[in-house]
Amino acid sequence: MKKFDRKLILIDGSEYYGYGFGSFKEKITEIVFNTSLVGYQEIISDPSYTYQTVVMAYPLIGNYGIAEDDFETESPTIGGLVVRDYNDQPSNFRSQYTLSEIMEKYQIPGICGIDTRKLVRSIRDLGSRKVLITDAGTPLEEGIQKLKDYEIPKDAVSLVSRKTVEQFFIKNGAYHVAAIDCGMKQNIVRSLNRRGCNVTIFPWDASMEEIEKIKPDGIFLSNGPGDPVDVQPVIELVKELRGKYPIFGICLGHQIISLAYGAKTYKLKFGHRGGNHPVKNLLTGKIEMTSQNHSYAVDRESLANTRLKVTHLNLLDQTVEGVACEEDKVFSVQYHPESAPGPQDSSYLFEQFIEMMERTKNGETNWFHSLSLQIPL
């Protein structure tokens, strides 16, 4: 049997031995798990995983390689990757690199040969917590001390957000969307472009004056990593922009909108990460299979004293998955309607945003008539 060369040390003192791939640097992050069967490239390149190590619940990873066109960001910032079986010989006509090659390039440590079923159960039962990816010979006491001494940074959004304004324009674009980049996935841009939107992406700390200069038809608030209360400039920006423009938020953007209206957020025990989470649309009664990736949720009771209505609920734990304020032309969802690969049940939300911008252009106020339904909080 090949000798183990890497291991995980968790703050509770548990150890998991395995074999390294990708980068062999030592790193401390928060450990989480994802239950998706496919999409490991989108996962490692999703900025929302900054400062997090992801355990893949599905056992075989790496078998279809990496394709240049499928990245969600140019420079992945995920903390690490843990898998049961890593395949370094992909079979896919689109593959241009192995997963290990990309992880080595971007200094992402990986470890395979781990009993991921046991590890996922541990995260589910004890919650997400700090983990050290290190050499197999690192003493347990030394590793635990490193974990105790290290604080995970709270600058994740500023780290991953663009530093300058970028434009993604298409021929004959009918709408101009100003997107606030808190860690925006590239497939959100593609989803808006496909529906006739020119997209101007602003850094997370852009001012209202900068945004209004381009005379947008609508505002988009992106996904991103970390605790939403750490992104105060964007919360204040929403307070300034709401009611002036149609606003659509996804994931972190959803939480930011809720905080801007006076609601509260809280951290989930182990988060929601996967491609099969059932969500009920309270406006239509339909069930959507959704792709999710978040550690925080909106406190449902705290919405009672705001002007937001709950529009979507998670059927697994009844957490809030969508809110809206009809009078301000604002709506958001906690999950990812743009996710690819992933379910496409929720792509209608982009059409809803476009309809909102079109009705606003035409001077209509009843932009989303179904929101007039009285939905209990």
Q: From CA 39, how far away is CA 47, in angstroms rounded? A: 14
User: What six digits make up the tokens of 367?
Assistant: 């932009």
Annotated active-site residue 338? The verdict is yes
Q: Which of 254, 294, 312, 336 is catalytic?
A: 336
Find, among 93, 118, 95, the residue nearest to 40 by Cα: 95
Find, among 105, 106, 103, 107, the residue nearest to 83 by Cα: 103
Annotated active-site residue 369? The verdict is no
Taking residue 340's Cβ as centre, other Cβ atoms within 10 Å add up to 17
SS3 string of the chain?
CCCCCEEEEECCCCEEEEEEEEECCCEEEEEEEECCCCCHHHHHCCHHHECEEEEECCCEECCCCECHHHCCCCCCCECEEECCEECCCCCCCCCCECHHHHHHHCCCEEEECCCHHHHHHHHHHHCCEEEEEEECCCCHHHHHHHHHHCCCCCCHHHHHCCCCCEEECCCCCCEEEEEEECCCCHHHHHHHHHCCEEEEEEECCCCHHHHHCCCCCEEEECCCCCCHHHCHHHHHHHHHHECCECEEEECHHHHHHHHHCCCCEEEEEEEEEEEEEEEEECCCCCEEEEEEEEEEEECCHHHHHCCCEEEEEECCCCCEEEEEECCCCEEEECCCCCCCCCCCCCCHHHHHHHHHHHHHHCCCCCCCHHHHCCCCC
Q: Which of 112, 197, 251, 325 is catalytic?
A: 251
Q: Is 261 in contact with 308 (CB distance < 8 Å)?
A: yes
Annotated active-site residue 325? The verdict is no
> Checking DSSP bridges between strand 287-298 and strand 265-281, what pairing results, if any?
antiparallel
Active site residues: 251, 336, 338
